Amino acid sequence: MKKSPTTQNPGSHYNRSDQLQDKSIVIPATLINLAETFEKKEHSWFITSHVPTDLTIQVQEITFNVHKYPLVAKCGYIGQMEIQPSISKFGNDLKLENFPGGPETFEMILKFCYGLPVDLNPNNIAQLRCASEYLEMTEELEAGNLISKTEAFLTLVVLSSWKDTITVLKSCETLSPWAENLQIVRRCCDSIAWKATRENTNADTDGQKQWWFREVATFRIDHYMRVISAIKAKNTRPEFIGKCVMHYAERWLPGMDVEFEGLRGYGVGRNDLQFSILGNRKEEGGSGHSQGQKAIIESLLSVLPPQKEAVPCKFLLQMLKMALMYSASPALISELEKRVGMMLEEATVNDLLIPSYNSADQGKLVKLPDERTMHDIDVVQRIVEYFLMHEHQQQEKTGKTNASKLLDNYLAEIAGDPNLSITKFQVLAELLPENDRACDDGLYRAIDTYLKTHPSLPEHDRRRLCRIMNCEKLSLDACMHAAQNDRLPMKTIVQVLFSEQVKMRTAMQGKESAPIGNDSEQEGNHSSTDEEIKNLKAELVKVKTRMAELQSDYSELQQEYEKMNNRQKSVSSWSSGWRKIKKSFHTKSEANEAEEGEERHNSIGRRINSRQRSSMS
């Protein structure tokens, strides 16, 4: 066993470069104050002292030139290491791999070992606690060593304070796995959860909650999940958990608040239409990598409380768009669609405008191919189906009125997409039972928009599309618009005119049965009646004009057929085609339409004469 260094000639021992084999070395008291100052030159630290240094320790790219025995006295790890002779002029070399806290923390460790003052605070306590554990600075070597001091500071000072606990947990993000193994993360998460649930019971702490939400939203996702899981374990109200999740999503998921304004982008041309998927980063340090974003999305969705009051429908749809964008788990996406379906009546049209994404779209600026629709229609279809299923199970009809208006407005929005097929439009329009629509004005607007966007749509497709709509459920204003709409098939216009006639008759009967008021009211009624008569006359003129046009078209078609028949009597295909045309324009049906038009003409004329006589009287 080597002899202990003597106090008479301490410098002679520090000039030796032999290997350290014995921990039980008596350190002379005069060596405690060897360090006068610390000085940094380029990538090396030097200790200014009257005694030469005999040990170099490398931490990352920084080299520390120190005395061996002050460190051995307090660091069991260094005492157990075989320090290799160095070719440098400083004697011995030691490299500390993966040292927690890096060179900055090791500098504070050196100050502690040399007896210089070290300031313990929430910003450095986790690093010092992990570093002291790495170096085995236990009480066995010296009473009041760094492990016990940092542990006491954590327990008595940090964990009793909101801000200090959050600061320490934030600093643990760079200290894996030491912070986990020493239970620093667990203790901080439990402390935050306990304080959060206590504050949640106090109705006057909304300002405190907002501050806490913002601070917790700065955590890395794994630490954030630990905090939320600890809070959920204490039976915290679901809306409180929901607000926490919403704050975190707003910070770490760029594009959450982006709303797609329908098809207004089509003005610049289909091939120029692009979506900015990610947009600008909101915060420094936010992850732009698609896998990182996907992990955040899936983690937040997994921790969302199942109760409807936890988060609004708008947030669920925002998360659904992000989940689709980054190809999250299909099971999570399906669960999101079901949850949105249960709250569909709370959504808006812009909420449902979900862009179409490919798996290759993640995190990129994407140009949509010509054959793809701008919006993901299939997702909305599944949401509506989940809504109807939920309403049927609950035997409720309270949300169906709002849902029907929402769906009709959505149809009107997507109808401007030139790539939207008539089949997709029809399937989505017919999802709701006919009885669920109190009025078909919204549906008529959607159909008219589709016809306007697809001017080359064949006549049979136009009739197929208009059969979705019930003309009897159109308002009087919608009927008047439809009666003059050249995009509608003739059969639909006739139905609209008949429906309009019935509505106007009902409105007139209601006015006639109303009690007679004073003179000013009678003058008002008289003026209103004159206006209605003028409208009826104008309508009659339009009906006669359209009937004449129809008769003219039929005559031209018949003449063309006769010419073709004379030239190509032997061509059976033309004969077969004409039989179909002739069947659709049969003389009998035309006669019936003419008689029906004449009857409406006579009926309207009788009502005009009647109203004129009534107004004159």
* Domain identity same for 436 and 564: no
Domain boundary among 112, 137, 158: 158
Domain boundary among 510, 544, 569: 510
So what's the pLDDT on residue 260?
A: 57
- State pLDDT tens for residues 352-368: 999 987 654 444 444 44
The pLDDT-based confidence of 198 (bands split at 50, 70, 90) is confident
* Domain identity same for 19 and 150: yes
Residue 374: inside a domain, yes or no?
A: no
Residue 4: inside a domain, yes or no?
A: no
Residue 481: inside a domain, yes or no?
A: yes
Determine what percent of the chain is predicted with pLDDT higher than 70.
65
Domain boundary among 133, 158, 183: 158
* Domain identity same for 49 and 135: yes
* Domain identity same for 506 and 572: no
Structure tokens that stand for 367 in this block? 């140009």
* Domain identity same for 553 and 505: no
Whole-prediction pTM: 0.71
Residue 283: inside a domain, yes or no?
A: no
* Domain identity same for 480 and 545: no
Residue 468: inside a domain, yes or no?
A: yes
Residue 430 DSSP code: T
340 near 317, Cβ under 8 Å? yes
* Domain identity same for 540 and 408: no
* Cis bond before residue 177 (omega within 30° of 0): yes
Contacts of 64 (CB under 8 A, 6+ apart): 44, 45, 56, 57, 58, 103, 106, 107, 110
DSSP helix, strand, coil percent of the chain (3-state; round to 5): 60, 5, 35
Residue 18: inside a domain, yes or no?
A: yes
Tell me the CB-side half-sphere exposure of residue 87, using CA atoms within 13 A. Answer: 0
d(CA 614, CA 617): 5
Q: What is the CATH number of the domain that holds 24?
A: 3.30.710.10
* Domain identity same for 464 and 602: no
d(CA 220, CA 286): 10
- Higher per-residue pLDDT: 43 or 24: 43
* Domain identity same for 102 and 30: yes
* The residue to which tokens 């760079």 are assigned: 174
* Domain identity same for 466 and 565: no
CB count within 10 Å of CB 612 equals 13
Q: How many domains does the chain have?
A: 3
- State pLDDT tens for residues 92-119: 688 899 999 999 999 999 989 988 889 9
* Domain identity same for 145 and 67: yes
Element (H, E) at 597: helix 587-616
Element (H, E) at 59: strand 55-59
* Domain identity same for 39 and 152: yes
Residue 318: inside a domain, yes or no?
A: no
Residue 470: inside a domain, yes or no?
A: yes
Q: Of the given ranges (159-168, 260-269, 322-331, 565-574), which has the lowest mean pLDDT?
A: 260-269
So what's the pLDDT on residue 529?
A: 57
Contacts of 46 (CB under 8 A, 6+ apart): 38, 39, 40, 53, 65
Structure tokens that stand for 419 in this block? 């790539």
CA angle 80, 86, 87 (to 5 degrees): 175
Please tell me whether residue 368 adopts helix, strand or coil conformation. coil
- State pLDDT tens for residues 133-183: 999 999 999 999 999 999 999 999 999 998 999 999 999 999 989 999 999
- State which residues form the domain around 584: 529-616
